[in-house]
Chains A and B, each alone.
Chain A
Amino acid sequence: MAVELPQPIVTRRYGLADSWTLRTYLDNGGYEGLRKALTTPREELVENVTAATLLGRGGAGFPAGQKWSMLRKAEPVYLVVNGDESEPATFKDHQLMETDPHQIVEGALICAYAVGAAQAFIYVRGEFALGLERMTQAVNEAYEYGAIGRNIFGSGWSIDLVIHPGAGAYICGEETALLESLEGKRGFPRIKPPYFPAAIGLYGAPTVVNNVETVSNLPWITLHGGSAFAAMGEGRSTGTRIFSLSGRVNRPGNYEVEMAKTTFHDLFYDPRLGNGIRDDRQLKAFIPGGASAPWFGPDKVDMPLDQDEVGKAGSMLGSGSIVVMDDTTCAVRAAWRITRFFHHESCGQCTPCREGSGWLDKVMYRIESGAGREEDLDLLFDVCDNIAPGLSWPPRQTTICVLGPSIPSSITSAVRMFRDEFLVHIKDGQCPFSR
C-alpha cells in the first residue's frame, strides 16, 4: 500500500523551464498571494498563518504565527529570512533558493506586510554563489515588476528587501548569531533572555526571523487559507514539508511529502522516494532530523514524519534532513565525523561546548583509529554529561545556544545502540569496517 503523495506546495515549480525567472513565476501563479495579502487586514493574515499551524521549517519547529504574534510593540520592526542552511545533510533551502527564488521573495513580502516590517533581509549562506545570484536577480525583477519598492501594486504599502550574504559559519543559522552576523559582527549567539528576537532583534528592534522554506509556504497559505493547509497532516504537524533524504539510499534527494501521513519507511523504500537501501543492504540506523538529532534504529522506521511523535520518541525532525546508514556503515566513524563537525563549528563562547567538543572529537577519533582505551566509553559519557547534564532529551542547557548540548546526540546514540562496535574497535585496535 503505497503512500499517497500530495500535490506539492513549495516545490510545485521544480522542473519548469527557467523556474527561477519572473516570467515562469508569473505564468504559474506568481505574486497572486501577495496581491491578495495586500487587500487583506493584517490581523487576518496572522490569524491565517496561526490557523495553518505552520511550524518553522528551520530546525526548532516553532509555530510561525506565534512568532509573529510575539513582536514587541515598537517601531521599526524588521523581517529576516534565514537562508543560512548549514545543518549537515540538509539541502532543501539551497535548492529552493536556486530553483524558486521568487516564491521566497513573495513569502517574505507577505510576512513583512503582515507584521508591518520596515525593511526585510534575506540572509543567504555565503557558499551558495548561484543561490545569491538567483535571489538577487529575483529581487531585481520584483522591484521592476512593482512587487517590491514604493506603493506595491498600488496598495500604498512600501518596503525594501535586501539579499545579504553570509561568509561560512554554521552557527549563523542560530537566529541570534545570524542577527549579529547581519550587524557585521562575529557570529556569536546572544545571551538569553530575551529568548526571542521578537523582543530584541536586529539593531535592538523587534524582529521576525523565519526560515526560507517557512516563508515559501506563505503565498499558498494566503491564497488557499490556513485551514486548507491544516487539513493536511495531523495534529500540529500540518501541511507538507520538504525532507532532505541522504546517505545509503538508492534515490537521495529532496522530497515534499505530507506530514504525519508519511512514515520514514515510505521515505526510504517507496520507489518514487528513496527507493530502498543501496545494494539491497540492511537498514542499520538513521538520523531523523539533522546532525544534532539523536539517532533511531530500524525499530522506529514505521514512525510517521510527525514533529511531536518524533519528539516523544526521544529525537527530533529538526531541519528535516534524514540520513540513512546501512550495515556497511561504521557507527563509530559516523558519530566521530559529526562530532568533529561540531568541534569545528563551536563559536567558542561557552566552555562546555568549546572544550567538550574538542575532547569528544579526540576521544572518538582515538577509538575509530584503533588507539582507543577501555575507559574511553566512560570518558565520552562523562564529557557529554558535562555539556548536557543528565543526557536527557531535549538536552539541558549549559551554554548560550543549543549547539553545545546537541553535540552528545550522535555519540550517546552510537554508544547506546552499537556498544559492541566500540568495544571491537578498542579490542582489535582497528576499525572493523576498514579494508
Chain B
Amino acid sequence: MARLSAEMVERARDTIALYPHTRSALIPLLHLAQEQEGWVSPEAMEHIAELLDLTPAEVRGTATFYDMLFLEPVGKYLISVCTNIACLLNGGYELLEHAEEKLDIKAGTTTTDGAFTLEEVECIALCGSAPCLAVNWRFFGNVSNEGFDNLVDELAAGRLTDDIPPHGTLCRTRRAVGLVAGGPDDAVVEPVQEHTPVEEQG
C-alpha cells in the first residue's frame, strides 16, 4: 500500500548499480518490496517501475511468474509445508493435514488474525530431513506433529523472532561493496546491447 521507503530506495539503488543492465535488478527489488510490506503491492510495483525505467505492466509481468512473490497480503508468518516426493514418502501430507487442523485453516489461506499463512509447496531441498517445512524461508526438518505444534506456539508467543525474521529473503543480506573491478585503469567493457542481433555460431 505504499511506495518504497527512503532506506529501501537506497538499497534498491545500490542493487541496480551491480548490473550491466538495470532490469536485472527487478527480482531483487521485488524482494525488497516484499520485505517492507510482507507482500508486493501495486504501489510498490509502480515505484519499482520508475526506478528501473520499466512500465508497471513489465514489473507485474515478471512478478506474477514467481511463486515467492505475493501480490496480495499474507500472514506475518508464511508456513510452507513440502509434500513433494521425498516428503510424501515420509509423511509430508500427514504433516500438512495436521498443520491445517492445528491452525484451523486450509492450505493456501491465512488465519483470521493475520498471524499465519499456510501453503503447500514443491520441494524445498531439505529432503534428508523429510518431512520438512519453512517459516518465512527458515527451514525446519524432521517435523513431527508435536514439533509443529511447538513451533506454532513459540511463533505465536513471539519467542522465535531471532530465528525467524519477517518477510524478505534478503532481509539479512547486505552486500558490503559495489562494483570495483572496472575503473579508470581498466579497459572499459561495453556490454552487448540486449537486442543487438548476434551472429550465430556455424
Q: Interface residues, chain A, CB within 8 Å of chain B?
A: 70, 72, 74-76, 85-91, 93-94, 118-119, 125-130, 132-133, 136-137, 139-140, 143-144, 148-150, 158-160, 162-170, 181-187, 193-194, 199-200, 203-205, 244-248, 252-254, 287, 291, 321, 323-325, 329, 333-334, 337-338, 341, 344-345, 347
- Pick the residue among B20, B128, B179 that contacts A91 (CB under 8 A): B128
Q: How far is the CA of A333 from the CA of B134 in the complex (A)?
A: 24
Q: How far is the CA of A337 from the CA of B124 in the complex (A)?
A: 15
Q: Interface residues, chain B, CB within 8 Å of chain A?
A: 18-21, 23-28, 30-31, 52, 61-62, 65-69, 83-86, 88-90, 122-130, 134, 136-139, 169-177, 179-183, 186, 189-196, 198, 200-201
Using Cβ atoms and an 8 Å threshold, which residues of chain A touch B66? 126, 166-169, 187
Closest to A252 in B: B128
Expressed in whole angstroms, the minimum distance between the Cβ of B178 and any Cβ of chain A is 8
Between A and B, 7 residue pairs with Cβ closer than 8 Å are A75-B189, A85-B125, A93-B125, A127-B137, A205-B191, A246-B85, A341-B84
Query: Which of A89, A125, A244 has the most chain B CB atoms inside 10 A of its CB?
Result: A89
Q: Would you call A334 and B88 a contact (CB within 8 A)?
A: yes
Q: Would you call B68 and A254 a contact (CB within 8 A)?
A: no
Q: Would you call B127 and A91 a contact (CB within 8 A)?
A: yes
Closest to A162 in B: B18
Given that A136-B175, A184-B26, A248-B89 are known contacts, is A126 also in contact with B192, CB under 8 Å in the complex? no
Q: Would you call B134 and A144 a contact (CB within 8 A)?
A: no
Given that A126-B169, A130-B139, A323-B89 are known contacts, is A165 also in contact with B28, CB under 8 Å in the complex? yes
Q: Would you call B31 and A119 a contact (CB within 8 A)?
A: no
Q: Would you call B181 and A159 a contact (CB within 8 A)?
A: yes
Expressed in whole angstroms, the minimum distance between the Cβ of B166 and any Cβ of chain A is 11
Q: Would you call A252 and B130 a contact (CB within 8 A)?
A: yes
Expressed in whole angstroms, the minimum distance between the Cβ of B189 and any Cβ of chain A is 5
10 closest A-B pairs by CB: A184-B26, A168-B67, A168-B68, A167-B66, A184-B23, A246-B127, A246-B86, A158-B181, A186-B65, A94-B125
The secondary structure that dominates the B interface is loop
Known: A150-B181, A183-B24. 15 other contacts (CB 8 A): A72-B198, A76-B191, A89-B86, A91-B126, A119-B181, A130-B138, A150-B186, A162-B18, A167-B67, A168-B67, A204-B194, A247-B89, A321-B127, A337-B84, A341-B84
Using Cβ atoms and an 8 Å threshold, which residues of chain A touch B85? 88-89, 246-247, 287, 291, 323, 334, 337-338, 341
Closest to A200 in B: B198
Using Cβ atoms and an 8 Å threshold, which residues of chain B touch A324? 89
Expressed in whole angstroms, the minimum distance between the Cβ of A87 and any Cβ of chain B is 8
Using Cβ atoms and an 8 Å threshold, which residues of chain A touch B62? 184-186
Using Cβ atoms and an 8 Å threshold, which residues of chain B touch A203? 20-21, 191-194
Q: How far is the CA of A170 from the CA of B124 in the complex (A)?
A: 10
Q: Would you call A204 and B18 a contact (CB within 8 A)?
A: no
- Pick the residue among B61, B127, B171, B175 that contacts A140 (CB under 8 A): B175
Q: Would you call A204 and B192 a contact (CB within 8 A)?
A: yes
- Pick the residue among B18, B126, B129, B172 that contacts A129 (CB under 8 A): B172
Closest to A186 in B: B65
Expressed in whole angstroms, the minimum distance between the Cβ of A378 and any Cβ of chain B is 25
Using Cβ atoms and an 8 Å threshold, which residues of chain A touch B86? 88-89, 246-247, 252, 323
Expressed in whole angstroms, the minimum distance between the Cβ of B95 and any Cβ of chain A is 14
- Pick the residue among A129, A181, A204, A341 that contacts B198 (CB under 8 A): A204
Q: Would you call B175 and A163 a contact (CB within 8 A)?
A: yes
Using Cβ atoms and an 8 Å threshold, which residues of chain A touch B61? 185-186
Expressed in whole angstroms, the minimum distance between the Cβ of B128 and any Cβ of chain A is 4
Given that A94-B125, A144-B176, A252-B127 are known contacts, is A199 also in contact with B201, CB under 8 Å in the complex? yes
Q: Would you call B180 and A149 a contact (CB within 8 A)?
A: yes
Q: Would you call B192 and A143 a contact (CB within 8 A)?
A: no
Q: Would you call A183 and B21 a contact (CB within 8 A)?
A: yes
Expressed in whole angstroms, the minimum distance between the Cβ of A144 and any Cβ of chain B is 7
Using Cβ atoms and an 8 Å threshold, which residues of chain A touch B177? 140, 143, 149
Closest to B178 in A: A160
Q: Would you call B68 and A127 a contact (CB within 8 A)?
A: yes
Q: Would you call A76 and B137 a contact (CB within 8 A)?
A: no
Expressed in whole angstroms, the minimum distance between the Cβ of B124 and any Cβ of chain A is 6
Using Cβ atoms and an 8 Å threshold, which residues of chain A touch B136? 129
Closest to A76 in B: B189
Q: How far is the CA of A89 from the CA of B127 in the complex (A)?
A: 6
Expressed in whole angstroms, the minimum distance between the Cβ of B86 and any Cβ of chain A is 4
Expressed in whole angstroms, the minimum distance between the Cβ of B139 and any Cβ of chain A is 7
- Pick the residue among A140, A167, A252, A334 that contacts B69 (CB under 8 A): A167
Expressed in whole angstroms, the minimum distance between the Cβ of A53 and any Cβ of chain B is 23
